[in-house]
């Protein structure tokens, strides 16, 4: 599932409907057919109907982590608009909540804070749907959904069954899962186990800790964590705003590279004149480095213009934005290639796209 932007008012849309209206990038060509599903049962039904006609299928929810080519998508696009959450189990310390795939993610986070459920408060302000979060293993400010997901309800297109994938079988990794590069599973709902607490989880992210005035590892009231994260994200153009072209993006376009020791030492050598690259240790003696730092030091500053009205955000070097009417996906990908190739030429470090690319390539 990839995330979407607008809410259609009818079940079937005109054949020439442009997918740009369903993505936060505001880019994407025509859909062969658009249908809307407002429940898990309807999601399964719409996908099965397309399968019976042997049509290509694209499942879209919030449109915030997808880049769709200018040629659009020739098959059926299923727009996921299921809503709601319910408590499955609870005890004195925890609560397990099932969230429908189409529930707007930030609405769910707001509900957890209001109910005194701790575990996803640092993921406030992220656009898109709840059902997309396990696909990407969404993370920010020191939290990842893999830490709280207990299972994902899915439709298996291979055998036509509806079942559950336990968290241990989801293949969660940095911004990835078994769902990300496979069209086998369609996410129907997601189960989260959260702590009953008025306080946030331990604050792990240094920038957030500084903004909150606590040491790394400290805890703060849930509402304070949420409001501070929202402020930090807005300052980087990472909270959707119809009036701000800096938010017309997919958020971070590139993932932070995870390097083995040899590659990391090569990077340090090439960056010796620039200072120590920001980095974090990872399991297996790997090192994660800052893609934003690499992009900036390779000569691509905030606001760097690209072709056809595209540009790096004026607020964050990781966001590539569509800033003008008539901008194309091809133009945006042209900017992405310029940045990717420039970083590799300067540092020898590869950059990989974070969003899912549909009918287009980088």
Closest CA to 203 of 112, 97, 118, 146: 118
Q: Do 305 and 311 contact (CB within 8 A), yes or no?
A: yes
For the chain, helix, strand, coil in percent to 5 are 30, 25, 40
Closest CA to 111 of 122, 101, 121: 121
Residue of 89, 107, 87 lying closest to 98 (CA atoms) = 87
Catalytic residue among 118, 252, 313, 328: 252
Q: Clarify whether 269 is annotated catalytic.
A: no
175 is annotated as an active-site residue: yes
DSSP 8-state class, residue 346: H
The values of phi and psi at residue 30, to 5°, are -75, 150
197 annotated active-site: no
Q: Which of 175, 226, 233, 323 is catalytic?
A: 175
* CA separation for the pair 85, 91 (Å, rounded): 18
d(CA 309, CA 299) in angstroms, rounded, equals 19
Q: List CB contacts of 247: < 8 A, sequence separation 6 or more.
A: 24, 237, 238, 239, 240, 241, 321
Catalytic residue (one of 103, 121, 144, 354): 354
The residues annotated with a catalytic role in the active site are 175, 252, 354
């Amino acid at each position: 599932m990839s995330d979407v932007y607008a809410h259609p008012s009818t079940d079937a849309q005109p054949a020439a409907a442009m997918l740009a209206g369903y993505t936060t990038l505001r880019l994407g060509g025509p859909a062969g057919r658009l249908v809307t599903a407002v429940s898990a049962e309807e999601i399964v039904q719409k996908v099965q109907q397309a399968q019976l006609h042997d049509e290509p299928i694209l499942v879209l929810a919030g449109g915030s982590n997808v880049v769709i080519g200018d040629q659009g998508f020739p098959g059926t696009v299923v727009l996921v608009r299921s809503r709601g959450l319910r408590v499955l189990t609870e005890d004195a310390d925890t609560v397990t909540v099932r969230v429908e795939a189409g529930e707007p993610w930030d609405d769910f986070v707001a509900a957890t804070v209001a109910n005194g459920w701790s575990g996803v408060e640092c993921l406030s302000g992220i656009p898109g749907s709840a059902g997309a979060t396990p696909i990407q293993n969404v993370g920010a400010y020191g939290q990842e959904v893999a830490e709280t997901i207990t299972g994902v309800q899915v439709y298996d297109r291979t055998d036509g069954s509806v079942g559950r994938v336990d968290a241990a079988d989801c293949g969660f990794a940095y911004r990835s899962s078994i769902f990300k590069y496979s069209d086998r599973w369609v996410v129907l709902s997601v189960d989260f186990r959260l702590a009953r607490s008025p306080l946030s989880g331990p604050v792990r992210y240094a920038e957030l800790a500084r903004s909150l005035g606590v040491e790394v590892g400290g805890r703060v009231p849930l509402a304070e964590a949420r409001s501070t994260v929202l402020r930090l994200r807005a300052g980087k153009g990472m909270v959707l705003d119809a009036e701000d072209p800096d938010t017309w993006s997919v958020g971070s376009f590139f993932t932070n590279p995870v390097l083995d020791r040899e590659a990391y030492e090569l990077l340090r050598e090439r960056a010796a004149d620039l200072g120590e690259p920001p980095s974090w240790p990872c399991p297996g003696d790997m090192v994660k480095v800052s893609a934003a730092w690499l992009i900036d030091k390779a000569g691509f500053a905030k606001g760097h213009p690209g072709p056809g009205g595209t540009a790096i955000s004026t607020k964050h070097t990781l966001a590539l934005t569509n800033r003008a009417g008539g901008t194309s996906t091809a133009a945006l990908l042209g900017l992405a290639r310029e940045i990717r190739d420039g970083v590799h030429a300067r540092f020898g470090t590869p950059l990989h796209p974070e969003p899912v690319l549909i009918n287009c390539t980088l």
